């Protein structure tokens, strides 16, 4: 006999929730069951953010600038690499165009004489066309530094030959405002060079003694202001010089004798009205440098004579028979490395001054220069 078990309905009675406007209100049971789950989900999210938020924010703060820096560094390296490449290519092209433009100058820098360089270009290259021909085979001139005998104030030489590698300036009655020669190598101071046949001096500046030729009357070189600076000589000697003001300063020599004497030379400058054009040249290799008063009985006249950075070997540098307002002998190096007993730098008693500045001239061992 089956046991009777009564059934009870435990479900909540259905209650009809009135609508608010057009949106129905959830049932009470659904609202009661959904609200705790949603609140729990929200709380879990809040707790997760609280737990992980500081690390996330910290990592973002730390990593963001680093990433920005790395990107900037990558761009910087790329930009500098391009700039370096362009600079390198620019330098290469500039050097290439210089070589193409001037093989004559390159040969001079290698130590060849101007005439020998012209011979190489004319025989061994196509030097009869283009820029090379224009530079190497153009007429010689003083301004271009071509060797030859120049009668001031002419810029073209009265004599020039392949075997003649002297830069010689002969002065006469026409006065010159400025003669400036700088940055040259003279004598045996460069490869494959020698002094001219029969010559013993690398540099000769001044007049000409008449006793060697009865038909020639002695001459002087008259200068308003003479500057001799930064020479390198085996020996440097001043004789028969009259200077209103003599300045000898900062010279170093392997033995020296400074014995100038006081006198009454007058101050002077060279005027002459319509003077000749200035004569200026820079750079070059020569067997000898000579500036003289070559016309018998006629003194050469230069208002301003600047001889700077002249590198010599193979013979003395001579300044003789000069009458000047001011003579400056500045920061030259003189010597052959043979001891102080030999006076390589010498200002003799024939040098006469009215005012004399003699400062910082020292004796020091100086070896002869090595040919470049």
Q: What is the pLDDT of residues 161-174, one digit of tens each?
A: 878 899 999 998 88
pLDDT for 224 beyond 70? yes
Higher pLDDT, 68 or 24: 68
Q: What is the average pLDDT score of the chain?
A: 80
Question: Whole-angstrom Cα distance, residue 182 to residue 163?
Answer: 23
272 CB neighbour count, 10 Å cutoff:
13
Provide the pLDDT for residue 192: 78
- How many CB atoms neighbour CB 351 within 10 A? 25
What per-residue confidence (pLDDT) applies to 251? 96
Q: With bands split at pLDDT 50, 70 and 90, how would you rate the model's confidence at 17?
A: very low
pTM above 0.85, yes or no: no
Query: Apex CA 307: angle with CA 304 and CA 309, to 5°?
Result: 150
Bigger pLDDT: 242 vs 82: 242
Encode pLDDT of 29-79 as tens digits: 565 556 667 777 777 777 666 665 555 555 655 566 767 777 778 888 888
Average pLDDT of 260-271? 93
Q: What is the mean pLDDT of residues 346-372?
A: 91
CA angle 150, 154, 159 (to 5 degrees): 35
pLDDT, tens digit (0-9, with 9 covering 90-100), for 248-259:
999 999 999 999
16 has a pLDDT exceeding 70: no
Structure confidence at residue 226 (pLDDT): 97
Q: Is the pLDDT of residue 22 over 70?
A: no
DSSP three-state, residue 203: strand
């Amino acid at each position: 006999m089956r046991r009777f078990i009564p059934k009870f309905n435990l479900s909540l009675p259905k209650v009809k929730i009135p609508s608010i406007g057009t949106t129905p209100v959830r049932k009470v049971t659904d609202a009661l069951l959904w609200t705790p789950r949603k609140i729990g989900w929200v709380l879990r999210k809040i707790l997760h953010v609280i737990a992980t938020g500081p690390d996330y924010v910290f990592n973002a703060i730390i990593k963001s600038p680093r990433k920005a820096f790395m990107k900037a560094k990558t761009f910087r390296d790329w930009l500098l690499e391009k700039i370096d490449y362009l600079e390198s290519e620019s330098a290469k092209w500039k050097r290439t165009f210089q070589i193409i433009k001037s093989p004559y100058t390159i040969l001079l820098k290698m130590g060849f004489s101007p005439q020998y360089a012209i011979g190489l270009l004319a025989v061994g290259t196509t030097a009869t066309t283009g820029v090379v021909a224009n530079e190497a085979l153009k007429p010689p001139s003083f301004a271009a530094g071509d060797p030859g005998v120049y009668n001031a104030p002419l810029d073209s030489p009265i004599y020039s030959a392949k075997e003649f590698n002297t830069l010689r300036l002969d002065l006469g009655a026409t006065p010159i405002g400025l003669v400036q020669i700088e940055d040259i190598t003279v004598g045996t101071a460069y490869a494959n060079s020698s002094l001219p046949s029969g010559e013993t001096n690398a540099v000769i500046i001044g007049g000409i003694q008449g006793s060697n030729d009865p038909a020639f009357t002695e001459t002087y070189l008259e200068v308003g202001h003479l500057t001799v600076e930064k020479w390198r000589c085996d020996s440097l000697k001043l004789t028969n010089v009259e200077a209103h003001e003599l300045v000898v300063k900062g010279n170093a020599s392997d033995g020296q004798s400074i014995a100038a004497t006081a006198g009454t030379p007058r101050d002077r400058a060279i005027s002459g009205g319509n003077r000749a054009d200035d004569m200026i040249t820079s750079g070059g290799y020569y067997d000898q440098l000579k500036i003289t008063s070559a016309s018998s009985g006629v003194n050469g006249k230069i208002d301003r004579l600047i001889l700077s950075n002249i590198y010599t070997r193979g013979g003395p540098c001579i300044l003789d028979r000069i009458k000047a307002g001011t003579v400056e002998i500045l920061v030259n190096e003189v010597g052959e490395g043979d001891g102080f007993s030999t006076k390589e730098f010498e200002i003799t008693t024939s040098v006469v001054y009215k005012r004399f500045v003699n400062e910082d001239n020292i004796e020091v061992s100086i070896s002869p220069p090595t040919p470049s």
